[in-house]
Amino acid sequence: MMTYFYSKSYFSMKSKFVTLLVCFLFIACSDEEALTFEPISISSDPCENCTTVLIEIPHALGKNKLSETINTALQNEIIALLNFDEESNAYNLKSATNAFITDYEELNDKFPEESIPWEAKIEGSITFENKDLITIQLESYIFTGGAHGYGTNRYLNFDKANGVELFHEDLFKSKEDFKNFTETLFRKQENIPADVNINSTGFMFETEDFYLPDNIGYTDDGLLLFYEPYEIASFADGPITITIPYKDANVFLRFSAKS
């Protein structure tokens, strides 16, 4: 029978080895879960007097819930933007691009003298990120005939810890309290007296009551509220925006940001 004797130096070396191994695994796991992006670009084939599509967005890397949620949300938004024909069965960015081009070609076959080549340009960028949340902006310009094209912005907010997209009801401790606070700021910004109808100066809130826009996103300058053209005003007025500094907005937010 053999007996083994271990010196204190052996245990010390073993302890250091285990510590280094744990540190290595921790760093490796952290890197594996870190949120990183690469740019992707999808465009139509260049040709003269034909419909053009250009999509340039960040693509989240990694096989985790957050990356999958971000990529799926961006894809679905872009498919919706390019969906001229409600019967389109587009299932990814490439098929949505092809469907947009096909819709134009079918229209051009019916009305060759009236149709002008369509255009779609969609660009994505990260407007804010901290340890809890990330916001991605989709800026788009879509022309499908008529007097002018339509340009807008979408803001998509994501909970990094839970890997889910955030909607209005997820952003605020009390959406009603935030709405009331924002109405005061809006009236001041647009010179609307507190004691008159919100539409008294020419705005077009459908219910004649103030409401929050569909698009709310985090930016480095503050919480941005973005009313698209036609949402509360005429197209000629362009988008209406309100930027609320975080020192004022944080008290209403479930995900606070820097002041």
Q: Which of 4, 151, 121 is nearest to 53 (CA)?
A: 121
What single string gives the DSSP state of each residue in 21-83?
HHHHHHHHHHHHHS--EEEEEEEPPP-TTS-EEEEEEEEE-SSSHHHHHHHHHHHHHHHHHH-
Beta carbons within 10 angstroms of residue 61's beta carbon: 13
Any alpha helices (H) in the chain, and if so which ranges? 8-33, 65-82, 93-110, 168-171, 175-189, 246-249
Give residue 162's identity as a one-letter amino acid code: N
Question: What confidence score (pLDDT) does residue 87 get?
Answer: 67
Distances (CA, A) of 170 to 91, 173, 196: 27, 8, 31
Six token digits for residue 209: 């009551």
Q: Which of 146, 78, 79 is nearest to 107 (CA)?
A: 146
| Cα distance between residue 7 and residue 1, in whole Å | 20
Angle in degrees, CA 43, 93, 154, rounded to 5: 95
pLDDT tens column, 201-224: 999 999 899 999 999 999 999 999
CATH 3.30.930.10 fits 169-252, yes or no: no
CATH placement of domain 37-166: 3.30.565.40
The residue extents of the domains of the chain are 37-166, 169-252
Over its C-alpha atoms, the chain yields an Rg (Å, rounded) of 25
pLDDT tens column, 128-142: 999 999 999 999 999
Question: What confidence score (pLDDT) does residue 216 get?
Answer: 97
The tens place of each residue's pLDDT in the chain, 259 residues long, gives 333 333 444 334 344 434 434 343 333 344 345 799 999 999 998 888 889 999 999 999 999 999 999 999 999 999 999 998 766 788 899 999 999 999 999 988 988 877 799 999 999 999 999 999 999 999 999 999 888 898 999 999 999 999 999 999 999 999 999 999 999 999 999 999 999 999 999 999 998 999 999 999 999 999 999 999 889 998 888 899 999 999 999 999 999 997 5
Provide the phi-psi class of 222: left if phi over 0, else alpha when psi is between -120 and 50, else beta. Answer: left
pLDDT tens column, 224-254: 999 998 899 988 888 999 999 999 999 999 9
Sign of the Cα torsion 162, 168, 171, 172 reads negative
Q: What is the mean pLDDT of the chain?
A: 87
Question: What confidence score (pLDDT) does residue 33 get?
Answer: 58
Question: What confidence score (pLDDT) does residue 244 get?
Answer: 97
Question: What confidence score (pLDDT) does residue 259 get?
Answer: 54
| Cα distance between residue 257 and residue 250, in whole Å | 7
